[in-house]
């Protein structure tokens, strides 16, 4: 290898470290997965599942990922980086875990290793438990539904006397 090739290779690695660090820095959750023999079609299905839920997915050399995580609040993930690993991350603190766990249930070639939420490191079991919680969008929908329910009930209560009055007047008109 020439010096120019070595220099280009080093620059490419530095760029990869920066890219990985930048992507996971603002994430609400980072899930570490192991891919054990996923074929191209299965990998595409996994990436599509992540894309639908606005979840990022990075596959990188463990040494480069460790460099990207070094000195950050995600540094505790380093011990989970063994074998063919990948990182799933999202701003929604549930989405990445939910999609990864759902895919792992259907395909045993993807294994959940653990996760990090801020500086809290989660085990595989804790990550799977987290995946059972509703996402931010689902919680927002429930809150809106709860806020709208009283307004609907108030409108029904206010309309009831007017409806009763109209029925009484109609009955009086038929009599007289």
Q: What are the residue ranges spanned by the domains of the chain?
A: 3-133, 134-176
- On the 0-12 / 13-18 / 19+ scale of CB atoms within 10 A, 122 is buried
Whole-number pLDDT of residue 102: 92
Whole-number pLDDT of residue 160: 64
Please give the average pLDDT of every successive group of 10 residues along the chain, which has 176 residues: 59 76 79 88 90 88 84 84 88 88 90 88 88 78 74 63 68 75
Whole-number pLDDT of residue 176: 65
Q: Is 9 helix (H, G, I), strand (E, B) or coil?
A: helix
Alpha-carbon torsion 155, 157, 162, 167, what sign? positive
Distance of CA 78 to the CA centre of its chain: 21
E strands, the chain, in order: 29-35, 56-59, 85-90, 110-117, 120-122
Whole-number pLDDT of residue 35: 86
Q: Is 150 helix (H, G, I), strand (E, B) or coil?
A: helix
CATH architecture of 3-133: 2-Layer Sandwich (3.30)
Whole-number pLDDT of residue 159: 65
How far is Cα 34 from Cα 67, in angstroms, rounded to an integer? 19
Whole-number pLDDT of residue 66: 85
Whole-number pLDDT of residue 72: 81
Report in angstroms the alpha-carbon separations of 127 from 11, 13, 45, 55, 97.
35, 30, 21, 15, 6
């Amino acid at each position: 290898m020439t010096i120019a090739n070595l220099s280009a290779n080093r620059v490419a690695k530095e760029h990869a470290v920066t890219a990985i660090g930048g992507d996971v820095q603002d994430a609400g959750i980072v899930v570490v997965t192991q891919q054990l023999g996923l074929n191209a079609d299965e990998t595409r299905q996994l990436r599509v599942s992540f894309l639908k839920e606005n979840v990022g997915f990075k596959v990188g050399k463990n040494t480069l990922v460790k460099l990207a995580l070094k000195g950050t609040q995600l540094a505790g993930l380093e011990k989970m980086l063994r074998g063919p690993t990948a990182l799933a991350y999202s701003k929604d603190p549930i989405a990445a875990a939910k999609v990864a766990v759902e895919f792992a249930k259907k395909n045993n070639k993807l294994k959940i290793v653990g996760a990090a939420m801020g500086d809290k490191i989660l085990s595989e079991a804790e990550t799977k438990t987290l995946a059972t919680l509703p996402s931010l969008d689902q919680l927002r929908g429930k809150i809106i539904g709860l806020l709208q329910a009283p307004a609907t009930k108030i409108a029904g209560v206010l309309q009831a006397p007017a409806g009763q009055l109209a029925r009484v007047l109609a009955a009086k008109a038929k009599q007289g």
